[in-house]
Amino acid sequence: MKRLRRTMLFVPGNNPGMIQSASVLGADSVILDLEDAVSLSEKDSARKLVTKALRSWSFKTTEVTVRINPITTVYGPLDLEAMLEVQPDILLIPKAEVASIQEVEARISAYEAAKLGGEAVRTKLFALIESAAGVEHVHEILASSPRLVGVLFGGEDYTSDMGVARTMGGMEIEYARNKVAVACKVHGVDAVDTPFTDVDNHEGLLADARKAKAMGFTGKAAINPRQVGIIHKGFAPDPVEVRYALRVLEAMEEAEAEGKGVFSLDGKMVDAPIIQRARQMVALAEKLGMVKGSTASKDEKNANDSLEGGLV
């Protein structure tokens, strides 16, 4: 089953206490950060700490992502080499553009050839797209490494690159968000939205998460653990929609059993896109524990009861 990445939580890479608690904060993925959260004089220290943690600390079921420094800096290649030794789930590549992803890809391939006898590392890549060029070339970036499983859009650096102001309304990142979300869909990878930087504004975060979900993002980055639950709420399917989706699937099964090709529900024709969406919705609801057990239940009432009972 494809894993959920509703939240990717940034954790400073040089803070032992926060690394130790990273797995209990509820985030689907944690990003151990070697870049912005670490001062230049502590790059070596953080790299060493994260390496040791990945060797001996259990993050339980939480996915572990490491953000390395840009590959164009002196630290980037050192980070990459150290991380390949311990192979986290994901490496998040900052300032992602075609050239930087190609360079990372080439270095990983070289490592596999030299150190692993051609065997592939388990680590996948996430592109942190945070520049105008990155946004504009998102398709080419996604085509430049088969290891890419997602894009994280970085709105702060992007607007700074554009030379425009970052606002609450977020009009200035609308185009980039749409473009990234659509490109990720095309390439079948996750699209994770930019963090919401006003950590005490919970209503604003919820609205922003819902907006990202509506645009097609699969998740949102978090810069504070308190944001995790709110983002999950924002990305949770609407129970009314889940209930409807369950009924669609049941009606479909009944129609199939009766040998009917097309069928209707509540007086409306149900066509393939509706069935497709219903399947996705129910699959997500199952992952989130909103629906218990199989959706193949023939009994609508039972299905609804289990939904009620299982709502989180």
> Which residues contact another protein (rule: CB under 8 A)?
15-17, 20-21, 24-26, 43-45, 48-49, 51-53, 55-58, 74-75, 78, 224-226, 229, 289, 310, 312
Counting Cα atoms < 13 Å in the Cβ hemisphere of 297 gives: 19
Q: Is 217 left (phi over 0), alpha (psi -120 to 50) or beta?
A: beta
Closest distance of CB 9 from another protein, Å: 9
Nearer to another protein, 30 or 138 (CB): 30
Nearer to another protein, 26 or 170 (CB): 26
Closest distance of CB 237 from another protein, Å: 17
Return phi, psi of residue 261, to 5°.
Answer: -80, -50
CA gap 19, 106 in Å, rounded: 30
- 129: helix, strand or coil: strand
Nearest to 96 by CA among 129, 140, 142: 129
- Locate tokens 């653990």: which residue? 225
Closest distance of CB 228 from another protein, Å: 9
Nearer to another protein, 52 or 298 (CB): 52
**CB contact at 8 A, 258 and 298:** no
Nearer to another protein, 273 or 309 (CB): 309
- 290: helix, strand or coil: coil
Report residue 50 CA to chain centroid gap.
21
HEC letters along 177-225: HHHHHHHHHHHCCEEEECCCCCCCCHHHHHHHHHHHHHHCCCEEEECCC
Closest distance of CB 13 from another protein, Å: 11
Closest distance of CB 18 from another protein, Å: 9
Closest distance of CB 308 from another protein, Å: 13
Nearer to another protein, 2 or 52 (CB): 52
Nearer to another protein, 189 or 288 (CB): 288
